[in-house]
């Protein structure tokens, strides 16, 4: 059986590392420490090593980027897009990540459908009036506002895909029933019970992590050797956009100030399982370990209310560690549920009015 990895689903930069330092096949009931809590053993960095961890250009994977301005505000959300036809796989990253977390998988998904990955508020290249307001209500409104600006009143079929914190946002957006063309929901490695239980450890994990990097290459190297990301190529694409250069300290620091958003953490996950189960669209839950289902999800899975796939030999960021497998799972989910270019009829959701023939 896959190792029992503690899912700590909020400041995911740190939690990824904590999930995976235990090693395969070993299970423990005590909270694991963050990969950022101590310096991993590693040889001295050489020039060739730095080249190995050099940033990669996202344009090899997404087709284009765009800034989406929200009317009557100063909020501008950055999105990456790929593909030209079919339903839209709309991706929401975890806390501390960016839309480029989905870059490698997007390069495969776009062969069949469209892909959009947005930088959530306080992350990546997105700029908002209040980057620290990571309340679930605000983030849901952000997603709906971006979709409204991109597609107007006639959006295509939308499959929401959310990783960890982004998974909670996806579930809450679906629960609002405010997106008439919502056709599917994919949640990546977040379960209410485990997430709620790990909240108490989050500030300590954040305070213990590495906070400053002399170069982007050092940050990428840290992420890979610390165990938070297992795919070097993905890390070389996604990690740079999680950083910003601090002129006063002459080093790179994290873009997202997660430690200042603790007041919102509980709201991300409370009631998440019931909201997920009650969402009236086809649902897929991807997990990196079998021991993460809470009671509500266990019962729901036995009743066939959603599909669950355990993706083995991967870390918390499934979409980064095994992008080809992740892409195949998403595309197969769309195909199996017959989610086509014009959407599907979903009971309980208001459909756009159709022209009379």
Q: What is the dihedral of CA 278, 284, 290, 291, to 10 degrees?
A: -30
- Return per-residue pLDDT of the chain as tens, 357 residues: 433 334 444 444 444 333 333 333 333 343 433 333 334 444 455 556 678 999 999 999 999 999 999 999 999 999 999 999 999 999 999 999 999 999 999 999 999 999 999 999 999 999 999 999 999 999 999 999 999 999 998 899 999 999 999 999 999 999 999 999 999 999 999 999 888 988 888 888 888 788 899 999 999 999 998 888 999 999 999 999 999 999 999 999 999 999 999 999 999 999 999 999 999 999 999 999 766 788 899 999 999 999 999 998 899 999 999 999 999 999 999 999 999 754 434 334 444 444 443
Per-residue pLDDT, 208: 78
- Reference 102, options 110, 288, 338; nearest CA is 110
C-alpha–C-alpha distance, residues 25 and 244, integer Å: 37
Our answer to whether residue 316 is catalytic in this structure is yes
For the chain, list the strands marked E by DSSP.
64-69, 76-82, 88-92, 114-118, 158-163, 182-188, 243-246, 251-254, 283-287, 307-310
C-alpha–C-alpha distance, residues 68 and 83, integer Å: 18
The overall pTM is greater than 0.85? no
Three-state DSSP at 87 gives coil
- Reference 244, options 206, 213, 222, 208; nearest CA is 213
Q: What share of the chain is helix, strand, coil (3-state, %, to 5)?
A: 40, 15, 45
Single out the catalytic residue among 119, 131, 142, 189. Answer: 189
Our answer to whether residue 321 is catalytic in this structure is no
Single out the catalytic residue among 163, 181, 316, 321. Answer: 316
Q: Which helix (H) or strand (E) holds 292?
A: none
Our answer to whether residue 20 is catalytic in this structure is no
**Domain 61-212+265-341 class?**
alpha beta
C-alpha–C-alpha distance, residues 161 and 89, integer Å: 7
| Residue 43: other Cβ atoms inside 10 A | 7
Single out the catalytic residue among 164, 198, 223, 279. Answer: 164
- Reference 118, options 137, 86, 144, 136; nearest CA is 144
Which string of DSSP letters, residue by residue, matches 123-143?
STT-B-S-TT---HHHHHHHH
Which string of DSSP letters, residue by residue, matches 218-229?
HHHHHHHHTTS-
Contact (Cβ atoms closer than 8 angstroms) between residue 196 and residue 266: yes
Give bridge partners of residue 76 from the DSSP assignment.
Answer: 69, 127
Sign (positive/negative) of CA torsion 265, 219, 92, 104? negative
C-alpha–C-alpha distance, residues 109 and 103, integer Å: 10
């Amino acid at each position: 059986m896959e190792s029992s990895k503690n899912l700590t689903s909020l400041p995911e930069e740190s939690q990824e590392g904590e999930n995976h330092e235990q090693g395969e096949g070993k299970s423990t009931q005590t909270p694991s420490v963050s990969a950022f809590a101590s310096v991993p053993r590693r040889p001295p960095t050489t020039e060739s090593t730095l080249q190995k961890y050099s940033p990669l250009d996202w344009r090899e994977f997404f087709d284009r980027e765009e800034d989406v301005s929200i009317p009557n505000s100063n909020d501008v959300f950055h999105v990456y897009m790929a593909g030209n036809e079919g339903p839209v796989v709309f991706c929401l990253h975890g806390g501390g990540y960016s839309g480029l977390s989905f870059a490698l998988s997007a390069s495969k998904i776009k062969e069949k459908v469209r892909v959009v990955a947005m930088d959530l508020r306080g992350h990546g290249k997105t700029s908002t009036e209040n980057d620290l307001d990571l309340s679930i209500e605000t983030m849901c409104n952000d997603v709906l506002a971006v979709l409204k600006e991109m597609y107007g009143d006639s959006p295509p079929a939308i499959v929401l895909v959310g990783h960890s914190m982004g998974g909670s946002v996806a579930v809450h957006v679906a629960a609002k029933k405010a997106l008439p063309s919502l056709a599917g929901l994919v949640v990546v490695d977040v379960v209410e019970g485990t997430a709620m239980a790990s909240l108490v450890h989050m500030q300590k994990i954040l305070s213990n992590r590495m906070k400053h990097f002399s170069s982007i290459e050092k940050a990428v190297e840290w992420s890979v050797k610390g165990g938070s990301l297992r795919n070097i190529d993905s890390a070389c694409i996604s990690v740079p956009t999680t950083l910003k250069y601090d002129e006063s300290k002459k080093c790179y620091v994290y873009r997202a100030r997660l430690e200042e958003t603790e007041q919102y953490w509980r709201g991300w996950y409370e009631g998440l399982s019931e909201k997920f189960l009650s969402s009236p669209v086809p649902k897929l839950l991807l997990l990196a370990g079998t021991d993460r289902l809470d009671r509500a999800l266990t019962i729901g899975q036995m009743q066939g209310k959603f599909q669950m796939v355990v993706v083995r030999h991967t870390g918390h960021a499934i979409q980064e560690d095994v992008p080809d497998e992740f892409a195949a799972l998403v595309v197969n989910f769309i195909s199996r549920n017959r989610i086509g270019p014009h959407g599907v009829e979903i009971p309980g959701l208001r459909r756009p009015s159709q022209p009379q023939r």
